[in-house]
């Protein structure tokens, strides 16, 4: 919940928030962005998160005590967020490559699960594990989730070491980390799909998450009908990895920001000079095609822009 200061306006703690796994997620930045918005225009009632994605900004605004409207153009992601906020049961079965490619393109919440939790680098289109590593990860899944003794024996034989049945995933990690150097699988302790599913479980536990309004529209089609409201947008960035949706028209988006009567704040690397920069963040972002946990990182600078409108 935001605190109100006599001279400084509202402010929230700049903590990491729960969110769905999503390319370009702002879960580490959204509370910092909220504070930048407060410093620029003060307090407000409703936040419209028009490129909702992993819902990090929606959760941050909800935790700060705002009313929230989450919008996401990708129907599978919107359905998944709606499913999570209504308390739907999350699946824990192993998803093979064939099932992923067969169902990833659907409009269902399960397609959203596949796109967020089972895709390589959250790109929503490629299967998470390489063909060599897939059978090993499946065995580990069966051991951790199903307590499958035959899978434990098979994995022990493949790796040439004696493994014991773990109590849980954290209990199994030390065993996998202590494998002999000659074993070619260096990241077996990281079961990415289970780690991502954990994030959905944490998101589902967010207090009052069921009060968030959810829509599946183009950003220009969302009706901004609440007074004392602001708009936040996190569109696909210029010259970056393509999302599941079609190519994004940045010029049309900037023109829309100029015509909207409400305050619009958006994240980007760069924007035309008539938009004011209200916050700048320097952070690391992953690059390359190696494992999520070992690939190199690069320093990136991204900004939060404002269309200059007040409430």
Q: Inform me whether the pLDDT recorded for 188 exceeds 60.
A: yes
In total, the chain counts a number of residues equal to 311
Contact at 8 Å (CB) between 46 and 211?
no
Q: How much is the pLDDT for 288?
A: 46
Q: Inform me whether the pLDDT recorded for 290 exceeds 80.
A: no
Q: Inform me whether the pLDDT recorded for 129 exceeds 80.
A: yes
Q: How much is the pLDDT for 240?
A: 63
Which of the four pLDDT bands, split at 50, 70 and 90, describes residue 230?
very high
Residue tagged 């390489």 (tokens):
130
Q: How much is the pLDDT for 137?
A: 95
Buried b (16+ CB within 10 A) or exposed e, 251-274: eebbebbeeeebbbbbbbeebeee
Would residue 302 count as lying in a domain?
Answer: yes
CA distance 93 to 138: 10
Residue tagged 């999570």 (tokens):
84
Q: How much is the pLDDT for 126?
A: 96
Q: Inform me whether the pLDDT recorded for 296 exceeds 50.
A: yes
Would residue 197 count as lying in a domain?
Answer: yes
Question: 174, 201, 228 — which closes off a domain?
Answer: 201
What DSSP element (H or E) covers 306? strand 297-306
Closest CA to 253 of 307, 311, 310: 307
213 and 294 housed in the same domain: yes
CATH number at residue 63: 3.40.50.150
Q: How much is the pLDDT for 226?
A: 78
104 and 136 housed in the same domain: yes
Would residue 187 count as lying in a domain?
Answer: yes
Which of the four pLDDT bands, split at 50, 70 and 90, describes residue 182?
confident
What is the count of structural domains for the chain?
2
Question: 138, 166, 201 — which closes off a domain?
Answer: 201
CA dihedral (250, 254, 260, 264) in degrees, to 10, reads: 90
Q: How much is the pLDDT for 247?
A: 79
196 and 242 housed in the same domain: no
191 and 218 housed in the same domain: no
Helical packing angle, 192-204 and 75-85, nearest 10°: 60
Instruction: Give percent above pLDDT 70 in the chain.
Output: 91
Q: How much is the pLDDT for 167?
A: 92
Would residue 88 count as lying in a domain?
Answer: no
289 and 145 housed in the same domain: no
Would residue 266 count as lying in a domain?
Answer: yes
Range of the domain at 102: 97-201
47 and 126 housed in the same domain: no
Would residue 82 count as lying in a domain?
Answer: no
Q: Inform me whether the pLDDT recorded for 3 exceeds 90.
A: no
Q: How much is the pLDDT for 266?
A: 98
Residue 220 tokens, joined = 């220009």
Q: Please compute the mean of the pLDDT values over residues 47-72 and round it to a whole number.
A: 98
Strand 264-268 with 297-306, pairing: antiparallel
Question: 169, 201, 233 — which closes off a domain?
Answer: 201
68 and 113 housed in the same domain: no
229 and 265 housed in the same domain: yes
CA dihedral (238, 241, 244, 249) in degrees, to 10, reads: 10
234 and 252 housed in the same domain: yes
Contact at 8 Å (CB) between 65 and 208?
no
Q: Inform me whether the pLDDT recorded for 225 exceeds 80.
A: yes
Q: pTM for the whole thing?
A: 0.90
187 and 245 housed in the same domain: no
Residue 20 tokens, joined = 């769905």
Would residue 83 count as lying in a domain?
Answer: no
Q: Please compute the mean of the pLDDT values over residues 177-199 and round it to a whole number.
A: 86
140 and 227 housed in the same domain: no
Q: Inform me whether the pLDDT recorded for 283 exceeds 80.
A: no
62 and 106 housed in the same domain: no
Q: Please compute the mean of the pLDDT values over residues 101-114 and round it to a whole number.
A: 98
Q: How much is the pLDDT for 155?
A: 95
CA distance 56 to 206: 11
Which of the four pLDDT bands, split at 50, 70 and 90, describes residue 241?
low
Would residue 120 count as lying in a domain?
Answer: yes
Contact at 8 Å (CB) between 233 and 51?
yes
Q: Please compute the mean of the pLDDT values over residues 6-18 and round it to a whole number.
A: 86
DSSP H helical ranges for 212-292: 250-259
What DSSP element (H or E) covers 279? strand 276-286
Q: Inform me whether the pLDDT recorded for 289 exceeds 50.
A: no
- 75: helix, strand or coil: helix
- How high is the mean pLDDT of the chain? 91
Q: Inform me whether the pLDDT recorded for 138 exceeds 60.
A: yes
Q: How much is the pLDDT for 259?
A: 96
Report CA-CA distances (Å) from 28 to 51, 262, 284: 17, 26, 11
């Amino acid at each position: 919940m935001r605190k109100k200061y006599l001279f400084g306006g509202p402010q929230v703690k700049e903590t990491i928030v729960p969110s769905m796994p999503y390319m370009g997620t702002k879960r580490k930045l959204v509370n910092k962005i909220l504070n930048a918005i407060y410093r620029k225009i003060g307090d407000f009632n409703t936040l419209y998160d028009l490129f909702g994605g992993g819902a990090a900004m929606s959760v941050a605004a909800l935790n700060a005590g705002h009313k929230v409207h989450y919008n996401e153009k990708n129907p599978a992601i919107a359905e998944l967020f709606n499913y999570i906020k209504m308390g739907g049961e999350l699946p824990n079965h192993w998803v093979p490559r064939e099932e992923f490619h067969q169902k990833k393109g659907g409009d269902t919440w399960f397609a959203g699960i596949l796109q967020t939790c089972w895709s390589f680098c959250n790109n929503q289109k490629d299967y998470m594990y390489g063909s060599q590593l897939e059978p090993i990860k499946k065995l580990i899944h069966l051991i951790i989730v199903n307590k499958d003794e035959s899978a434990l024996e098979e994995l022990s034989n493949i790796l040439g070491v004696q493994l014991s049945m773990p109590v849980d995933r954290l209990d199994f990690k030390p065993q996998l980390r202590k494998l002999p150097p000659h074993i070619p699988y260096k990241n077996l302790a990281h079961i990415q799909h289970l780690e991502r599913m954990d994030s959905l479980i944490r998101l589902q536990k967010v207090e009052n998450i069921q009060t968030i309004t959810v829509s599946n529209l183009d950003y220009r089609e969302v009706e901004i009908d609440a007074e004392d409201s602001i708009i936040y947008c996190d569109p696909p960035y210029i010259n970056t990895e393509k999302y599941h949706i079609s190519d994004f028209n940045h010029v049309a988006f900037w023109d829309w920001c100029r015509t909207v009567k409400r305050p619009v704040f958006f994240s980007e690397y760069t924007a035309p000079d008539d938009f004011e920069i209200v916050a700048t963040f320097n952070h690391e972002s992953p690059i390359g095609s190696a494992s999520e946990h070992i690939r190199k990182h690069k320093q990136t600078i991204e900004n939060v822009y404002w269309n200059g409108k007040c409430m």
